[in-house]
Amino acid sequence: DIQLICECYQIMKDILGMSNEEMHRTFAEWNKGDLDSYLIEITRDILAKKDEDGRYVLDYILDTAGQKGTGKWTAISALDEGIPLTLIGEAVFARCLSAQKDERVAASSVLQGPKPQKFTGDRTAFLEDLRKALFAAKVVSYAQGYALMRAAAKEYGWNLNYGGIALMWRGGCIIRSVFLGKIKDAFDANPDIANILLDPYFSGKLAEAQTGWRNVLCTAMQNGVPAPCMTAGLQYYDGYRSSRLPANLLQAQRDFFGAHTYERTDRPRGEFFHTNWTGHGGDTISTTYNA
């Protein structure tokens, strides 16, 4: 959530050329709708806060992020359970990259890339696209988090009340938001739903948001403005909705260099095969490990 908001801030600042006051008003407006949340509230207030000299406090803060490790251990848990928790992972790496301040300053004078150009389009329409992109990426992040909880519950024999967890968060913590009530509704309607992206409310919202979401990311990339979490969210969405991914080639490569075996489309799941790709590899195969 925090990283996604920060990416919106940078897009507003670097691409749209918005002032702190304009961004303050935008976040205040966003807090009245789907994005109503504690983090949007405090972002609104941070953008308006001025120092003793009348300048904005935010403009004095060095762009190097700290961290206590919660994102790190969550990402490690996701790897242990074989769950793609890409947004939290990218958020952690974004903090790590921010901490390399001296290297980034040096690199900024060496590495080439596009510079943000003066925005000439419809700013109101683009801000609406950005709002939708933020909401859509947030949905994907929570979908990934719930997938991790489901995997952990299966692994450790937990009986989790997924809707109740959403209400607990909504009751008071930094991710408190109106949005969490929709997660509760999704689990009330279908306690066994495999992924909240499949809930009619969320799938509808993502369908509505995706054109604007893609527009925002294309604009960010063309202007050289990083948006790792928002991009990771869209990549997961496109991957999850794909009935076919290129992992067949990946499995062929793994079998070629390591005899790791593969399953076939013309045979039942759970049967594994090895091809002697070079004609002189022998019959030895590796054991199969699935995260």
- Over residues 24-48, the pLDDT tens digits come to 999 999 999 999 999 999 999 999 9
| Phi, psi (rounded to 5 degrees) for 124 | -60, -45
Query: Looking at per-residue confidence, does 284 or 93 come out higher?
Result: 93
**290: pLDDT strictly greater than 70:** no
Query: Looking at per-residue confidence, does 199 or 288 come out higher?
Result: 199
Beta bridge partners of 56: 50
CA angle 83, 85, 90 (to 5 degrees): 150
The string of pLDDT tens digits covering residues 141-200 is 999 999 999 999 999 999 999 999 999 999 889 999 999 999 999 999 999 999 999 999
The string of pLDDT tens digits covering residues 232-278 is 999 999 999 999 999 999 999 999 999 999 999 999 999 999 999 99
* pLDDT tier for residue 289 given thresholds of 50, 70 and 90: low
CB-based contact 144:83 (threshold 8 Å): yes
The string of pLDDT tens digits covering residues 69-80 is 999 999 999 999
CB-based contact 114:224 (threshold 8 Å): yes
**280: pLDDT strictly greater than 90:** no
